[in-house]
Amino acid sequence: MKIDIAGSGRGIAESRQGMSFKRFCREEEVHDVEGIGIGLYLARGIITMQGGYTKMASTVGSGSTFSIFLPRGS
């Protein structure tokens, strides 16, 4: 099963996408925006515990799409 979640935020540069799933990771440009940088970290952990995985597609200035892949029956 695949679920896509798309957002229209600032987008994440390809060179920083791998770090986006680390705990407390925040882009320099959004430090004035509320948040602590734990959402993607927790989401990936929960998805992994269910036997799934995540992928990200993002373009700076155009937002991001996060794909969640779960095994059938989850």
Displacement of CA 20 from its chain's centroid (Å): 6
Write down the mean pLDDT value for the chain: 87
Q: 36-50: per-residue pLDDT in tens?
A: 778 889 999 999 999
- Of the ranges 1-5, 21-25, 27-31, 59-63, which is most confident? 1-5
How many residues would you count in the chain?
74
The torsion angles phi and psi of 5, rounded to 5 degrees, stand at: -125, 115
What global pTM score does this model have? 0.77
In 10 A of CB 30, how many CB atoms? 12
Dist CA 40 CA 71 (whole Å): 20
**pLDDT tier for residue 30 given thresholds of 50, 70 and 90:** low
> What confidence score (pLDDT) does residue 55 get?
95
Residue 54: Cβ within 10 Å count: 16
